[in-house]
Amino acid sequence: MNLWFRLLLMLLRRPWRSPVSGLSTTVIRLRVWPLDLDFNRHVTNGRYFTLADVGRMDYVLRSGAFRVALKHRALPIVGDVWGKFRRELKLFERFEIHTRMLGWDHKWSFVEHRFVKDQRVIAVVVMRGLFRGAKGTVAPVEFARSLGLEENSPPLPQWLSEWSASCDGLSSTLRETEYSEPQRKAG
């Protein structure tokens, strides 16, 4: 429920937030609420991924990517998410999420979310995702063109390319073993 209130608040503020280019960084400001906490009284690891969704929605709306998705009747699909946690966030602390497009390849778009408190990066969430419509996946280059960007992605950092390749490897392994292992009966 907490996420819905944050999304609604972000949407209500949208008319006063200016559009951005596809490679710009968007910033949203949030506060830690009780439902964000785990038993250690700091933001639970999984909540970072959920909060990144709010930052990504702000980016998609402000960059105009949502218009391209609507044109293709496509929905966003998160393929893989990775997080690095450096410092904790505690109850009622204010923080920002800085969201930016890192680049794209033939299938995936890569988005970074930096969680910032007192001008210090305390966590990073990286997502690779795509838009899928009735006719299949919308190529990231289509989004780039529609957003007025170069068709070629900015160079992807080596760590990001290696992470994406490892995700592809895991996906292949899962597909190979999905039906080959005996199905367990519910007891």
In order of start, what are the domains of the chain with their CATH numbers?
Answer: 2-172 (3.10.129.10)
pTM value is: 0.88
Task: Report pLDDT for 2.
Answer: 65
3-state DSSP call for residue 73? coil
Of 164, 107, 162, 161, which Cα lies nearest the Cα of 132?
Answer: 107
pLDDT tens for the chain, 187 residues long, are 467 677 777 666 666 678 898 999 999 999 999 999 999 999 999 999 999 999 999 999 899 898 889 999 999 999 999 999 999 999 999 999 999 999 999 999 999 999 999 999 999 999 999 999 988 999 999 989 988 899 999 999 999 999 999 999 999 999 998 876 665 555 5
Side-chain-side CA neighbours of 67 within 13 Å: the count stands at 10
Of 65, 68, 77, which Cα lies nearest the Cα of 108?
Answer: 77
